Amino acid sequence: MPENSGQSHSFSGNIFIFEAFDIGEDINLEKVRQSKMVQVLPLPLSKYFKNYHTPLAVKSTEVSPQCISSKLHSFGVISLAYKIPFHDTLENIRKKINTWDAEYQKQSVADAQQIFKKIKSFIKHPRFFHLRTSYVVIQIDPKSTDLSVVELKEKYGSTIASVLRFEIESLSEFQKNEIIDAAMGYYRGDLFIVDIEASFVYDDEYEELLDLFEFANIQQLELQYFDRLLDHQLNIVYHRQVRATPFKAYLPFFGSLTSDPIGALGMLKVDISVIIERLESSIKLAGEAYISDLYGLLIEKLDLNNWKDSIDNKLEIIRDINNIYQSKTDAIREDLLSILICVLIFIELIIGILTYFKE
């Protein structure tokens, strides 16, 4: 069947837009809960997630009604989810997708800021906002059309590919095939196409999968934030903007009580490593081969592994810098101890000579 031949179908479904904002280093969720500055909602945790960093679901009357979910994460993130129901042709959705995306990106800033103002006092080093990421899911109910998965790809593959890339014109055959060929499904009538900025879901039982898209978007946010933070810290070291290590740092006992910039880099390395490890461990997909494949595609398309490799490389550089400075500090301490021993021997010698002549 040729693409877009005959009459276009009208599809029913929803567009989900996930937004994530990094607003500080940490959020004290318990104090937020006790303060009652925002309404706390019950949060049924997906079976695909462990209890690491369980977010706090909140609600604020100032947030737009299209926002179906707002969550606070202890590592300093607000995540919002928007739902836009539609009954329209894919061609019209392609024309509207950029407008919707721009509109809700702007709306999400206003909504996140309303929540941020209420919980600002419970955030360590609050700032609105360091960084943001977004991801879009276009979900279509197969019951709204009589098209099979094969017919859908043959007739509307080019339009779907354009929608996922936010393009109003048709993509090249090569680009279209690259996007559509990555499609996957579990049951016969299901279709999932995962791409860089958006995914296409042809399924009516999709609710549990939305958590995966939201979580992957948050992972991307944190990895980008840590990568940018490490870049900043390494630039300071590279341009020699780090102040000289204080003399007390070289003294035994006192050295361990002295804070220094290089030591702060070491602490940053530990904090980042712990948060990344817990984020990666939050997903439990043992025995869920299909969900594991879908999540693997998300990781690949969002380039999460490359972001993680970049962070690992920079953490390795920090480890080398720490080793160099530690070796320098140890050498100076040994020299100071040697000088101190020589001074004590010299004093003892002088006292001995003076004692001899007095006798």
Q: Where are the domains of the chain?
A: 11-208, 213-355
CB 176 within 8 A of CB 157: yes
Q: In whole angstroms, give the CA distance from residue 89 to residue 102.
A: 20
Q: Which of 22, 60, 64 is nearest to 40 (CA)?
A: 60
Q: How far apart are CA 206 and CA 301, in angstroms?
A: 20
Mean predicted lDDT score pLDDT of the chain: 82
Q: Which residues are 180's β-sheet partners? A: none
CA angle 44, 46, 50 (to 5 degrees): 105
Q: Where are the alpha helices (DSSP H) in 239-303?
A: 261-281, 289-301
Instruction: Choose between 267 and 30: higher pLDDT.
Output: 30
Burial (Cβ within 10 Å: 0-12, 13-18, ≥19) of residue 327: exposed
* pLDDT (0 to 100) of residue 266: 66
Burial of 33 (0-12, 13-18, 19+ CB in 10 A): middle
Q: What is the predicted pLDDT for the residue at 257?
A: 44
Beta bridge partners of 138: 15, 200
Strands 198-202, 131-140: pairing is parallel
pLDDT of residue 293: 83
CA distance linking residue 225 with residue 132, whole number of Å:
9
Residue whose structure tokens are 């809960």: 33
pLDDT for residue 336: 80
Asked whether the beta carbons of 18 and 135 are under 8 A apart, the reply is yes
pLDDT in tens, 136-146: 999 998 887 77
Q: How confident is the model at residue 209 (pLDDT cuts 50, 70, 90)?
A: confident
CA distance 215 to 206: 15
- Kindly give the pairing relationship between strand 123-124 and strand 11-22: unpaired
pLDDT given at position 359: 64
- Convert the pLDDT of each residue in 326-349 to its tens digit: 777 778 778 888 888 898 898 888
> Is there a contact between 158 and 176 (Cβ–Cβ < 8 Å)?
yes
More confident residue, 266 or 78: 78
> In whole angstroms, how far apart are CA 47 and each of 16, 40, 208, 282?
21, 21, 9, 11
This prediction's pTM: 0.81
State mean pLDDT over 230-255: 61
- Best-predicted range by mean pLDDT (114-123, 201-210, 341-350): 114-123
User: How does residue 233 score in pLDDT terms, banded at 50, 70 and 90?
Assistant: confident
Answer whether 55's CB lies under 8 Å from 43's CB. yes
Task: State the maximum Cα–Cα separation within the chain, in Å, rounded to a whole number.
Answer: 122
Q: Which of 106-115, 158-167, 199-208, 249-258 has the lowest mean pLDDT?
A: 249-258
Report which of 7, 74, 106 is spatially closest to residue 271, judged by C-alpha positions.
Answer: 74
| pLDDT recorded at residue 287 | 61
**DSSP letter (8 states) at residue 49:** B
What is the C-alpha to C-alpha distance for residues 265 and 237, in angstroms, rounded to an integer? 10
